[in-house]
């Protein structure tokens, strides 16, 4: 009888081990891209992760060192007027390390790992729903997560640009997904507000949505656009109320636009650097030479070629045409307030708070 009980215990133990092993295998099978992006992000960021303190300068003003400043930023008046409400959700998220008492050096490094991982995995999910090959989708995510653009924003401390860049693939996936209930539009509405915490990114995405209306040209896309904007406005309304109670008016504080425009106009711009997402005056000396290496240049050329050839895929044609058309509309303005489109650039720059 004792031998029988022992045998049953062994069988149960064996069953638990097999069950646990199958769960691990199932997890790895479903989430290997996520684990891959985490590992690769750590490898790429290792020189930063190994440094002491906060190893950046320029525009880095985060992690939050003072919770007093954090709460003042959320509830106090903004120099951007009511438009400052657009970035409140991102600001609230950035305050989490302070609220959780995570030391700034650790919080910063976790933030960078999260940004690269989210960018890669989000783009993987977006592409994998549109092509059959998971491997190609994974490589696409790598290319998106480690472009010169994201490294430049890391160096100069454009925090909201990093958030917008990482959130963009998740927004596109949720926006383009089929939805039936209004509450299902809350997610793309929330993600849209996160993107709009960086004004230029928000305007660019809004332009893409308008262009997509043209190329899709159906009631479903129009209703999707309207309901997403309404959900974003609904989620924005509490922050608008807080902003009004804090004493903000409808207009941002003016004064620095002319100086900023003159500075942008004085910078040299390169079409090659723009097309390789590396056009920034602080890092131009590094990326100018890097992007003239045959391997890097051919890599970007291959990406653009694949994008153009994707037009022949009927399933994704309207999406690809929308992306290409949006890029072509924005391209003339990449050289700043100079040339034939200087007046339009200046008008848009002054229209939207920076």
Residue range 131-184, pLDDT digits in tens: 888 999 999 999 999 888 888 888 777 888 899 999 999 999 999 988 777 788
Contact 278, 152 (CB under 8 A): yes
CA distances to 145, 171, 175, 239 from 132, rounded to whole Å, are 21, 21, 21, 42
Per-residue model confidence (pLDDT) at position 159: 85
Per-residue model confidence (pLDDT) at position 226: 92
**213-235: buried (b, 16+ CB within 10 Å) or exposed (e) per residue?**
bebbeeeebeebbebbbebbeee
Q: Where are the alpha helices (DSSP H) in 217-336?
A: 219-245, 257-266, 271-275, 284-290, 294-309, 317-330
CB neighbour list of residue 119: distance below 8 Å, 6 or more residues apart: 141, 144, 145, 150, 165, 166, 169
Per-residue model confidence (pLDDT) at position 352: 61
- Return the closest-CA partner of residue 145 out of 116, 111, 168, 114: 116
For residues 150 and 171, what is the distance between their CA atoms, to the nearest angstrom?
18
CA–chain centroid gap for 206, Å, is 14
Which stretches in the chain have pLDDT values below 50? 253, 255-256
Per-residue model confidence (pLDDT) at position 346: 75
For residues 304 and 310, what is the distance between their CA atoms, to the nearest angstrom?
10
Per-residue model confidence (pLDDT) at position 253: 47
Per-residue model confidence (pLDDT) at position 30: 81
Per-residue model confidence (pLDDT) at position 242: 81
Per-residue model confidence (pLDDT) at position 113: 92
| 303-347 pLDDT per residue, tens | 888 888 888 888 888 888 999 999 888 888 777 777 777 777 777
Per-residue model confidence (pLDDT) at position 148: 84
Per-residue model confidence (pLDDT) at position 335: 72
Per-residue model confidence (pLDDT) at position 207: 93
For residues 92 and 218, what is the distance between their CA atoms, to the nearest angstrom?
37
For residues 110 and 61, what is the distance between their CA atoms, to the nearest angstrom?
16
For residues 259 and 281, what is the distance between their CA atoms, to the nearest angstrom?
16
- The label of the residue with tokens 């400043």 reads 69
Per-residue model confidence (pLDDT) at position 14: 63
Other beta carbons less than 10 A from residue 331's beta carbon:
12
């Amino acid at each position: 009888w004792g031998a029988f009980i022992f045998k049953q215990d062994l069988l149960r133990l064996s069953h638990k081990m097999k069950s646990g092993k199958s769960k691990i295998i199932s997890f790895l099978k479903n989430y290997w891209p996520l684990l891959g992006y985490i590992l690769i992000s750590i490898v790429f960021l290792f020189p930063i992760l190994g440094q002491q303190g906060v190893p950046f300068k320029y525009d880095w003003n985060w992690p939050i060192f003072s919770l007093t400043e954090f709460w003042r930023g959320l509830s106090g008046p903004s120099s951007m007027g009511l438009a400052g409400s657009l970035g409140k959700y991102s600001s609230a998220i950035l305050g989490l390390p302070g609220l959780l008492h995570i030391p700034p050096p650790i919080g910063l490094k976790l933030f960078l790992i999260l940004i690269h991982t989210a960018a890669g995995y989000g783009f993987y999910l977006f592409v994998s729903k549109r092509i059959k090959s998971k491997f190609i989708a994974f490589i696409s995510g790598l290319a998106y997560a480690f472009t010169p653009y994201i490294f430049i924003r890391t160096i100069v401390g454009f925090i909201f640009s990093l958030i917008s860049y990482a959130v963009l693939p998740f927004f596109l996936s949720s926006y383009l997904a089929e939805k039936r209930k209004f509450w299902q539009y809350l997610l793309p509405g929330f993600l849209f507000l996160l993107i709009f915490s960086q004004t230029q990114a928000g305007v660019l995405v809004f332009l893409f949505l308008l262009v997509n209306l043209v190329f899709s040209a159906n009631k479903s896309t129009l209703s999707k656009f309207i309901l997403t904007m309404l959900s974003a406005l609904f989620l924005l309304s509490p922050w608008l109320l807080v902003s009004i109670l804090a004493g903000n008016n409808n207009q941002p504080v003016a004064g620095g636009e002319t100086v900023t425009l003159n500075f942008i106009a004085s910078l040299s711009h390169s079409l090659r650097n723009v097309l390789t997402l590396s056009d920034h005056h602080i890092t131009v000396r590094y990326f100018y030479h890097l992007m003239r290496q045959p391997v890097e240049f051919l890599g970007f050329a291959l990406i653009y070629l694949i994008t153009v050839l994707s037009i022949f895929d009927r399933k994704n044609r309207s999406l690809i045409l929308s992306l290409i058309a949006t890029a072509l509309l924005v391209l003339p303005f990449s050289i700043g307030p100079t040339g034939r489109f200087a007046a339009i650039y200046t008008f848009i720059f002054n229209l939207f708070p920076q």
